[in-house]
Chains A and B, each alone.
Chain A
Amino acid sequence: MTSLLHSITNPFRSAIVADPWHWDIVDVPEIHQSAFELCRRALEHVRTQRQSTSILLYGEAGSGKTHLLARLQAYLAGLVKIYGQAPPAVFVSVRLQTSPQMIWRHLRNRFGEDLLRPTTDGRPQLERILLPRLKECSPTIGEPQTWLERLQRDARTSAAAVAEMEDALDALDQQAQLNDRDLVIVLAHLLLGRFRRDARAWLRGESLPEAALAQLGVNTDQDGDPEERARRLILSLSRLIGPELPVVFCFDQVEALQSHPQDLAGLLKFGQMVSFLRDETSNAVLVSCILAQFLTTLSQAVISSDRDRLSTFGERALASLTPPEAKRLIEARLAASPDLRSERPAAADRFWPLRESDVDEALQRKKDTPRALLSFCADKFDAYWQPEAPAQVSPTQDFLAQELEERLARSAATSSTEQTDQIITHGVPLLLRLFDTRWEQKALSRFRDADLVFESPRGRVSLSLCNQRNMTSLAGRLRRLREQAAEQVLEDVTREKFVLLRDARLPISSNARRTREHRDQLAGAGFHWLTVSAEMIAALDALRGLLSDAKAGDLANGGEALLPATVQDWLRDSLDAKLRPLRDLLDVLLPEVPATTADDPDFNLCEDISELLHNHFVVSVADAACKLDRAENIIEACARRNPERFGVLNGPPLVLFQLTPSAADVADAPQEVS
């Protein structure tokens, strides 16, 4: 019996809902019912009045804000039935782990991603909403699903099927006034199942090479303000969805928009964004969630009219649990455990193996948020089942080390080149502040094509992100920078640094001669070219995730939210060991550290090898030498001089392979495996 009990999973341990899209959780509808009802009423208001509205929710760390959003998502998906049939609506979840200058692009990315997310019937949200709209505008298509399946089947062989789809979308375009030719084209591809990967990437706002854009048939000129493009597309998507169908935008972790407590730029932009969506769309329900203690900061940061627009329909505090709610939650958790049900004695108390007095004790000790209560009960549960087992709460240092390790592994496995700009613009300000709190982000720059500018008594650092897949766009940016630099002279290279930054996983093709030429010219003018390794990006992603979660109260050890300052201190102390790639990144960024890019003889060869490995993954040095028309010893020497980019397997034959963060472990120093 004892060994069996030991194998029972503690029903209180999985306390945190990290993502509103996850609904495999125990729910007690009475908890935060008023806030949920407010959301339902707002949905109805938007549907009937055809006017966008907004709600502001706040609560302590662990009060269940994300859980409430998950309940709303599940309700709209038809997974929560007690309120009856939910009205059709689109759900978009936006965690604001982004920088102010990319806030619209971040929203477009999340909007696109969630529109493409499969619903319970396996079809993406986008298809589910588009088909009725197409039917509405083109009644002759008949039963829309059958119609779509026929077109998808025929589109491979018949141009008439494509034309039929275009006609239907044209009718929708005219009715919805999308005013976006590219969007209509991409929608046709998505519906017909053509060029799926690139069409999805386009919808999410990711950079695509010219060839992919040309194949899609959309505009290849990606110049102009990308934030404005993202904003326009969001409006078009909103019109596409139609006035009768609400789009629920849920903004979580608003706190993460601050790189430090005095940084109000991100919050100001957030207020403007919500205000714009509320005024310029007619079908948006905008739900913003913040920590209660953050309310004053938010109100001070945004202009008052924007503050009003954050809660047009109302605001609710997520209250601490009352005794009946707390008891109901514990009962529900216990009841959801099948292991416990089979072990439960016939005449056992309803809280078995806990006691009602345990819940009362938790409330007396103010463990009265769902997270704190569940953590308290988890400890009690362990104490009853396994009194001899050690306590589950780890020391903060150990907890953070484990969290970091998990996040590094996750980022290494999932972060793609499409996220690089987002990670850099959000993560680098945090990293610089971590290193020295005197680093301030500045809005103004003499260089229009600088994306980030930082100043401190140490000097000035300007960053220009060069992660375009589209070589015409990249060449355009570098050309403009050359023009802007023409009249500027870098006077004191120990005080000022201009860094052109590109993800190592995006090699510059040997055919992109103009791009390479501009780069060389800029390097000659004192600009620094920084090829950021995948390890650096993964580490930066892990760092920003930890800090964002801490600021939003979502980083909890044993039910207690960790203080952001504690996390910052620990990360700072870890720069030389666990976060070594970030120390390396800092060394390149800081103005007092000289960089060696102007006459870097390896640059073009590195890009060539990288391009080769990008296409073939593993190549022998002999083959590489042949393909690149260089001597084998030169190729080998270059690869060994750049261990952060290339893996080398000793032979014979000597082999090069593409280095990823996980592969870096295999190819770790000395980078050779016999």
Chain B
Amino acid sequence: MDNGSATMISPDTAELENEVIRKALSQATQPLTCKQLRDRLTGPYKLSEDILTARLTAEIAAGRVYAFAATGRGQALRYWTRSAEELARETLLRYLAQRPHTRAELLRKAKSTLAGFSEERQKQLLAQLVREEHVQELPPLLGGRTKFYSAKPANPRDYLEDALKKLGKKLACSREDILRAAGLLNDAPAAVPQNSANESLLTRMVQIKLAAAQGGLVPLNELWHSLRTEGWDKTSFDRAVLHLAESYRVALQRHNFPNSLSEAERAELVADQLGNYYVGISLR
């Protein structure tokens, strides 16, 4: 029986190639030019730029791929599986995950990335993100009138630091003088390392995944990889995770079939003394 090989490209082969193209585009963090896309394709899927352009044009017509204007000095169109609105959405959320921004500051920052997506639409999108509770509207700083936007709840420390700075300027004294005067600073040692570790772990969760702030799950192997680069060791990491779970600040999700995992895969997870392996962590 023949193997079905043929010199003509069958519709199935073309569809498979299109799927690979879409997958490559979808994995990109921003729109790609045809050349950049080709660089990401391998083996039989490294199509010529002409064919790739034709395929992309067809995908655009079918509404599965979107074209974006060239940026900077480049002349080439860029392509992505996400629409201009999605690009804008991701861009705004990315900036707001880093720290709170005023609206003007945010729009200024996003301007070059979101060429072609009008400022008015960006404002509408920001309002929509607030309605959907992906972004929070934070109150102005002490004495200010401009509101802030952030993907995380307001951090009192930001407001306190700003207030201390303003007060220090007004009274011409140092931050420490003010804190000592308020009885908030003495010679006691700083917070115990465990607490500090816990807090940085919680902060990192939200940095890895915005949705973690609202109860979304962060894979523990991802969290571990992220903190390992900052000098954490696995024992301290496991201890901090289990400690946070015992104090009901976070909830852990077990792997129900740990025996189906390899030893290496299990080593990436957090284990307790009862033989449970945890795969994910979420804020309570």
Contact = CB atoms under 8 A, between A and B. Distances in A.
Contacts of B229: none
A314 B12 contact: no
A490 B259 CA distance: 44
A305 B82 contact: yes
A304 interface: yes
B107 interface: no
Interface in B133-177: 133-134
A160 interface: no
Contact of A293 (B131, B256, B272, B274): B256
Contact of A319 (B255, B259, B282): B282
Nearest to B284: A319
A317 B259 contact: no
A443 B81 contact: no
Contacts of A322: 248, 284
B12 A443 contact: yes
A59 B253 contact: yes
A455 B133 CA distance: 48
Given A60-B253, A317-B251, A305 B81 contact: yes
B1 A492 contact: yes
A561 B276 contact: no
A491 interface: yes
Given A366-B274, A443-B12, A488-B1, A316 B214 contact: yes
A295 interface: yes
A224 to B, nearest CB: 16
Interface in B226-272: 248, 251-257, 259-260, 272
A316 B280 contact: no
A110 B138 CA distance: 44
Give the interface size bracket for B toward A: 35 or more
Given A313-B132, A317-B280, A295 B26 contact: no
A320 B279 CA distance: 13
Contacts of B280: 58, 292-293, 295, 317
Given A445-B4, A561-B256, A292 B217 contact: yes
Most A CB contacts (10 A, CB to CB) among B211, B217, B260 go to B217
Given A303-B81, A315-B211, A320 B252 contact: yes
A64 interface: no
Contacts of B2: 446, 488, 491
Interface in B114-133: 131-133
Contacts of A316: 214-216, 282
B26 to A, nearest CB: 4
Contact of B272 (A59, A366, A553): A366
A182 interface: no
Contacts of B255: 293
B216 A293 contact: no
Contact of B274 (A304, A313, A365, A561): A365
A315 B217 contact: yes
Contacts of B256: 60-61, 291, 293, 553, 561
Contacts of B257: 293, 561, 563-565
A96 to B, nearest CB: 18
Contact of B133 (A308, A314, A489): A314
A563 B259 contact: yes
Nearest to A443: B12
A34 interface: yes
Interface string B84-124: 00100000000000000000000000000000000000000
Interface residues of A, number: 48
A317 B283 CA distance: 9
A495 interface: yes
A293 B217 contact: no
Interface string A287-302: 0000111011000000
Contacts of B134: 314
B4 A563 contact: no
Contacts of B82: 305
Interface string A359-389: 0000001100000000000000000000000
A317 B133 contact: no
A251 B113 CA distance: 36
B35 interface: no
B279 A292 contact: yes
Contacts of A117: none
A304 B26 contact: yes
B253 A304 contact: no
B27 interface: yes
B60 to A, nearest CB: 15
A4 interface: no
Interface string B206-225: 00000100111101000000
Given A322-B248, A496-B1, A317 B274 contact: no
Contacts of B211: 311, 314-315
Given A58-B253, A59-B253, A61-B256, A444 B86 contact: no
B4 A444 contact: yes
B260 A317 contact: no
A45 interface: yes
Contact of A303 (B23, B251, B260): B23
Contacts of B132: 45, 312-313
A445 B68 CA distance: 37
A59 B256 CA distance: 10
A565 B253 contact: no
Given A295-B219, A366-B274, A488-B2, A303 B279 contact: no
A223 B260 CA distance: 44
Contacts of A296: 219, 279
Nearest to B280: A292
Contact of A366 (B10, B13, B133, B276): B276
Nearest to A498: B1
Given A304-B26, A315-B217, A488-B2, A60 B254 contact: yes
B217 A295 contact: yes
B78 interface: no
A303 B18 CA distance: 13
A492 B2 CA distance: 10
A296 B4 CA distance: 35
A588 to B, nearest CB: 19
A58 B12 contact: no
Interface of A: 34-35, 41, 45, 49, 58-61, 291-293, 295-296, 303-306, 308, 311-317, 319-320, 322, 365-366, 443-446, 460, 488-492, 495-496, 553, 561, 563-565
Given A58-B253, A303-B27, A460-B1, 11 more contacts: A292-B279, A293-B253, A293-B279, A296-B279, A305-B86, A306-B26, A316-B215, A444-B12, A446-B4, A561-B256, A563-B257
13 contacts: A41-B133, A293-B257, A303-B23, A303-B81, A305-B81, A305-B82, A311-B211, A312-B132, A316-B214, A316-B215, A443-B12, A496-B1, A565-B259
Q: Which 9 A-B pairs have the closest CB atoms?
A: A319-B251, A292-B253, A317-B282, A303-B26, A491-B1, A317-B217, A61-B256, A446-B4, A315-B216
